[in-house]
Amino acid sequence: MRIQGQTSIITGGASGIGEAIVRRFVDEGSEVCIADINLEGANRLAAELGDAAWAIHVDVRDEASVKQVADAAMDRWGRVDVLVNNAGAELNKAYDEVTEDEWDLVIDTDLKGPWLFTKHVVPHMVAAGSGSAIYIASLNGLVGFPLASPYGGSKHGLVGYVKHVAIELAQSGVRFNCVCPGVIQTPMMERWTQLMPDQEEAQEMLRGMMPIGRMGRPEEIAGAVLFFATEDSSLCQGSILAVDGGWVAQ
């Protein structure tokens, strides 16, 4: 129960890595707001987890929607201890085939969304003099890949944003840190492999991309996020943690 009695907002918490974070945080004693555009999925997870979790619809690209979540959390709890910016959108397409609408969807979800939540939630943390804001970027925010320029561009931007806001608010009592997952077995990754003609070959390729010889599990990312939510990370400010099975060490 490492975050017993804390309150947490987790965006994109209805599935994948977000769901794993929600489950781990509840297990560790936090009350959790599951903020997701998929309200049905968020409600289903909240119902399974009981009184410690509640669901709310959010479109992270829309400022009014984000502010509604921040206001609802403050009305319910009077404070927010942890913010996890996890909601994301991916796109695998050649750089010159990406449409303006596709570019905007990815950039607005993956970069504008975390900025909006920082804008509307973090001031409450600053007023309290404590809190932890955690941003889920990607291996694509550290290295380049083909057919991933909008997604990789947004995640590189997020990594940079975390560093800047961490320094701007370094003495506020609020910590800002970033987790960069590697190849993780999630619905997002499954959608990517479906683009490949040979599914077995795609799975083998993904395993081979990780030096440890396997894909990661969402629960392993949740453990890294939990570290940044606890006082064990009290000296971490603007840290960028690659949870990638050794990829960037190559």
- Catalytic residue numbers read 151
Tell me: pLDDT of 224 over 90.
Answer: yes
DSSP structure class, residue 109: I
Q: Which residue is it, tokens 């409600």?
A: 43
209 pLDDT tier (thresholds 50, 70, 90): confident
How far lies 95's CA from each of 98, 145, 150, in Å? 6, 11, 8
Q: 149-195, pLDDT tens digit by residue? A: 999 999 999 999 999 999 999 999 999 999 999 989 877 666 666 66
Predicted local distance difference test score (pLDDT) of residue 200: 73
Q: Is residue 63 part of a domain?
A: yes
Q: Is residue 109 part of a domain?
A: yes
Across the chain, what does the average pLDDT equal? Answer: 94
Number of separate domains in the chain: 1
Task: Give the separation between CA 161 and CA 117, rounded to whole angstroms.
Answer: 13
- Could you list the residue range(s) of the whole structural domain that residue 118 is in? 7-186+216-241
Predicted local distance difference test score (pLDDT) of residue 207: 67
CA 83 distance to own-chain centroid: 9
pTM given for the model: 0.94
DSSP structure class, residue 78: S
Tell me: pLDDT of 196 over 80.
Answer: no
| Range 90-114 average pLDDT | 96
CATH number at 176 reads: 3.40.50.720
Token pair, residue 11, equals 């965006």
Q: Is residue 228 part of a domain?
A: yes
Predicted local distance difference test score (pLDDT) of residue 145: 86
Q: Is residue 144 part of a domain?
A: yes
**Residue (of 8, 64, 75) closest to 35 by Cα position:** 8
Task: Give the separation between CA 36 and CA 69, rounded to whole angstroms.
Answer: 10
